[in-house]
Amino acid sequence: MHTHTDSTACDDLAGAARILSAAQHLFAEKGFAAVSMHEIAQHAGVSKSNVFHHFRSKDELYLAVLGAACTSHREQLVPLLSGDEPFGVRLQRIMHADLEFMFAEPERAQLVLREITGTKPDDAVQPAPALLRDNAAALVAQMRIAQQNGEIRAEIDPAAVALLFLAANKFYFLTRNLIRHFPDVDFADDHGRYVEKIADLILHGVLPQEGVPK
């Protein structure tokens, strides 16, 4: 009566979806090499052979998981970039949306970032690096437009702004479990406060403005 199989237990997912979900969870937490197919099968509530039935190899399963993570990340930044608010407001909105997106699906974000930060010299056309490249390019393009509109200083390198923005957000996400315990940090659990403080720094810099406006 159902479309096909009814699931045997646990989640409302069935078959391959259950396996993908378990694999995403484990790969994100422990990394590719530290996870076994046995472990994935257990978490998915199926037999190990069933995992091999749906995915021909461990690599294929990992690529399926990573591909899904990249796909869900791919178009998230672009529609947020434009807008007619002042640059400062737009920057805060983009930072906040990027954070919300990562914290909403931390496992997928972790997978993508692990691929990006552990990349060796040669593998430049993998899905995760390509994702970063595209998002960074869109970000830089937007910075350039803002610069043409006189919203940011003419001497600035748009790529440097994009790097600073991405670095701050990704580093904040990656070290979230560490800086929570740092006595000096009061924004580890309050993304809004974090965005306000970092955006203020990027916008106005740290120097007192009494100096020469140049």
Site for DNA in 13-52 (CB under 7 A): 14-16, 35-39, 45-50, 52
200 HSE (CA, 13 A, CB side): 9
Can you tell me the distance from the alpha carbon of 21 to that of 25, in angstroms, rounded to the nearest whole number? 6
Q: Which long-range contacts (CB under 8 A, 24 or more apart) does 171-180 make?
A: 172/99, 172/198, 173/99, 173/102, 173/103, 173/106, 173/109, 173/113, 174/113, 174/117
Nearer to a second copy, 46 or 161 (CB): 161
**Shortest approach of DNA to residue 38 CB, angstroms?**
4
Q: Which of 75, 156, 190, 192 binds a second copy (CB under 8 A)?
A: 156
**Shortest approach of a second copy to residue 125 CB, angstroms?**
10
47 contacts which partner out of DNA, a second copy, none, CB within 5 to 8 A by kind?
DNA
Q: Which of 1, 2, 12, 56 binds DNA (CB under 7 A)?
A: 56
Nearer to a second copy, 53 or 193 (CB): 193
Q: Which of 15, 45, 88, 127 binds a second copy (CB under 8 A)?
A: 88
Q: How many DSSP H helices and E strands does the chain contain?
A: 11, 0
Beta-carbon count within 10 A of 36 CB: 13
Please give the single-letter amino acid code of residue 113: L
Total residues at interface with a second copy (CB under 8 A): 71
Is residue 118 close enough to count as binding a second copy by CB under 8 A?
Answer: yes
